[in-house]
């Protein structure tokens, strides 16, 4: 049981270094906000186009198949399940009503080939509204999760915090502790793999003991898991204390007096080109994206 491999979502890919790794984190953050905001009030075709664009960027970046195949596998499964459930769910318009006028035997042919109900097979009813809602929901879930994951996959935690600190620099005039917040965010991002490692070690220790859970019963099993959770918290607090001691030994007194610049943020030609490509993207979004 290797949690660091079975849960690849949100992990940073150090090797190989692709062209997306070399981009400025501020530019990638701008495109991330674009992918998160563009699907709002957009038509289904535009949402499908954004999902396809994310897949195309993954292929153009030449990210190894073993990486994005694991990440996209469970996500596509989740989106397909959401699509099927939403498609077959009632759309809220299939209600019975009492007609105001008496029914007549005279029927008029449909002047066009338009049909609101697309499939009607007994209990399986798919309407235009349910199909459109299914496309919207599934593509929105895919875009929100995969765009964020692609950003974390190609951006180091230190680059993320450095870019956010540069963007939030004007807030220092309001005497907000920007450096302290970014330092806390950096330590949190670095602490996530430690949490997964501790959970993995405890899970392996339980497996090696070959505990017979059927003989223990519910009450004793809960006691065992309570002890595991308690041990996990103790190990995590110990790790946090070790990090604090290491920072104190290295002379860290406050973020403003002991600042470490991990990355020098400079916009290159490719960064400016990708940044200005947001203009035609949003122009196309406003012109053809539709407002629902």
Task: Note the pLDDT of residue 291.
Answer: 59
What was the pLDDT predicted at 280? 92
pLDDT at 1: 45
Cβ count near 267 (within 10 Å): 13
Write the pLDDT tens digit of every residue in 23-68. Answer: 888 889 899 999 999 888 888 888 999 999 998 988 888 888 877 7
Span 210-226, average pLDDT: 78
Q: pLDDT by residue (tens digit) across 67-110?
A: 777 777 778 888 889 888 888 877 654 455 555 566 655 566 66
pLDDT class of 242 with cuts at 50, 70, 90: confident
At residue 142 the predicted structure's pLDDT band, cuts being 50, 70 and 90, is very high
Range of 161-170, 182-191, 221-230, 279-288 with top mean pLDDT: 279-288
Give yes or no for residue 123 having a pLDDT over 80.
no
| 18 in Cβ contact with 153 (< 8 Å) | no
Give pLDDT tens digits for 163-186: 887 888 788 788 777 777 777 777
Neighbours of 80 (CB within 10 A): 12
What is the C-alpha separation between 267 and 18, in angstroms, rounded? 17
For the entire predicted model, the pTM comes to 0.72
- Higher-pLDDT residue of 114 and 139 is 139
How many H helices and E strands in the chain?
11, 2
- Cα dihedral 191, 193, 196, 200 sign: negative
Distance CA(54)–CA(90), nearest Å, equals 31
pLDDT recorded at residue 279: 92
């Amino acid at each position: 049981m290797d949690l660091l491999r079975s849960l690849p979502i949100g992990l940073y890919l150090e090797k190989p270094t692709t062209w997306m790794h070399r981009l400025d984190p501020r530019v990638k953050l701008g495109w991330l906000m674009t992918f998160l905001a563009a699907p709002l009030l957009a038509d289904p075709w535009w949402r499908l186009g954004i999902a396809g664009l994310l897949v195309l960027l993954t292929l153009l970046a030449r990210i190894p198949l073993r990486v994005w195949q694991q990440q996209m596998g469970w996500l596509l499964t989740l989106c397909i399940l959401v699509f099927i459930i939403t498609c077959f769910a009632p759309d809220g318009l299939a209600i019975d009503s009492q007609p105001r006028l008496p029914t007549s035997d005279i029927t008029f042919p449909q002047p066009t080939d338009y049909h609101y109900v697309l499939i009607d097979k007994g209990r399986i009813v798919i309407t235009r509204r349910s199909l459109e809602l299914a496309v919207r929901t599934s593509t929105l879930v895919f875009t929100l999760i995969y765009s964020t994951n692609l950003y974390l996959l190609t951006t180091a935690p230190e680059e993320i915090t450095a870019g956010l600190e540069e963007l939030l620099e004007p807030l220092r005039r309001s005497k907000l502790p920007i450096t302290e917040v970014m330092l806390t965010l950096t330590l949190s991002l670095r602490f996530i793999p430690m949490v997964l490692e501790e959970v993995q070690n405890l899970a392996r220790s339980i497996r090696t003991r070959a505990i017979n859970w059927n003989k223990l019963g519910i009450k004793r099993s809960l006691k065992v898991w309570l002890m595991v959770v308690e041990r996990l918290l103790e190990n995590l607090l110990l790790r946090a204390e070790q990090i604090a001691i290491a920072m104190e030994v290295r002379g860290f007194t406050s973020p403003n007096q002991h600042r470490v610049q991990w990355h020098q943020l400079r916009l290159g030609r490719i960064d400016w080109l990708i940044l200005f490509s947001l203009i035609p993207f949003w122009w196309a979004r406003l012109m053809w994206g539709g407002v629902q």
